Structures are given as structure tokens and as C-alpha cells.
Amino acid sequence: MTKTALITGSSSGIGLELAKIHAAKGDNLVLVARSLSKLEALKQQLEQQNHIKVHVIEKDLSLTDSSQQIFDETREKNIQIDYLINNAGFGDFGLFFQTQWSKELQMINLNITALTHLCKLYIPEMMQQGGGKILNVASTAAFQPGPTMAIYYATKAYVLHFSEAIGNELIGTNITVTALCPGATESGFQKVAAMEESNLVKGKKLPSSKSVAEYGYRAMMKGKAVAIHGLMNYLMANSVRFSPRAMVVKLARKIQDKV
């Protein structure tokens, strides 16, 4: 039986690559993003190349009720979601007292509220279906505080802890929850976050969105709870548990600061 993956933030970066992977596997798709023109172009490409069905939904997930509207639309179209991939998200760079609240509120709504609400809506459906898989895109930022990106790091900590908690609650239901934790990735994220001049990314050769997506897909299919992409990212994420908190915050600030 053909399965369907719902992917948010699917018009670029990791979400786009995950869409290509699922299409190549023969899965139908529900693609969600803000740019209808990009979604329509991707729909045409993936349907022609893979002979699958692609349903696109133009939606800004930072807006109230957007998650409910997506859920209602898939129900109305009788589309069963077997894979829920919460990939949409963005960051912002700058000192907290200088950044714009309007952008930060959008970030919280997108990175936390929309992701949580989509899980809330689709998990009962998956239970009725007899199973499903959820991939929530967190970040290595989830493992420590992040001066100059304070809210972004905090939102990703939420995604990680939330995913682990509900994953535990769902043991025995044939539903798995995976938190994908990539480090800095070549995805366009840095430009949106205005952090192209930070020590974290300037002059660095970053992993491709494709390599992160492939790793995330494999981890989701295995039902892995936490998937940290890259050996150095894995070592750094786990080392903070054994380091003094003050030192961790200072190091994070040094890495994040502009060159």
C-alpha cells in the first residue's frame, strides 16, 4: 500500500531533499510551505519523475490555526498521513535586547506551536491507522543555551525534549518519534537568520541539505529517538553534559559571535 508523507518547509533545504527522498521511494506527498509557485514547480517535477501523487498546501505555519487548517484539508481530501515531518523553522541572530519581538514571536509560533499542534492532530489518526512515523527537525542547538540566538536555541531544546517525551509515551503503539539534530547545514538557513558572518559558518564547508536529509530519513525509518548528524556534532552535543554550565555558555557565545 502506498504511503504518504506530510512535509512542512518543503520548498527548500532539508525539507526539499526529504521530499525528493520520499518521492524516490514511491511515497505520495503533502508538501507545505509559504511559496505556492515553488510548491507547484516541485509537484510537477516529482510527479513526472516518480509517478506519485503530490498535494500542495500554501500555508504560513507561524499564523494561528494554520496547523488545524492543514489537518482539516488532508481529512477533507481523505489523505492518510503515514509520515509526519515537521521541518519548517527559522532562526534569528542578534542580542536579545536588540532583536525584534515580532520576528521572535513568529519563530516561537513556527518552531514550537505549529510543530506541537501538528503532532497533537495527527498522532490520534496514526493510532487509528495502526502506526506511523514522526520526524521533528531539532538541531545541535538543542543541547546548550545559545547567546546571540537565545530564542532559536531554546525553541530547538523544546523540540528535542518534546519529541523524546512523546516518543516514550507512544511505545507500544507502532508510532515512533525521531528528533533530527543537524549542525550548521548548507540550506539557506544562515541567510534568513542573518548569521552569515558568525564564526559558526563563515569560511566553513557545511554539510549539504541532501546528506542531512538522507541521514534523517534513515533514522526515522529505524525509529531512532535522537539522531545527531555528523561525528563532531555528536561528540560536541554529548560533551556539554559533562562540562560546567558557565563554560558551555561562554563557548557557545564564542562560536556564535561574528568574525
Contact (CB, 8 A) for 215 and 14: no
Question: What are the residue numbers of the active site?
Answer: 152
Position 234: which residue type? Y
Return the beta strands (E) in 27-86 as ranges: 28-33, 54-58, 83-86
Contact (CB, 8 A) for 213 and 170: no
Position 122: which residue type? Y
Handedness of CA 167, 172, 173, 178 (dihedral sign): positive
Question: d(Cα 124, Cα 104) in Å, to the nearest integer?
Answer: 30
Which residues lie below 8 Å from residue 222, measured CB to CB, with a gap of 6+?
A: none
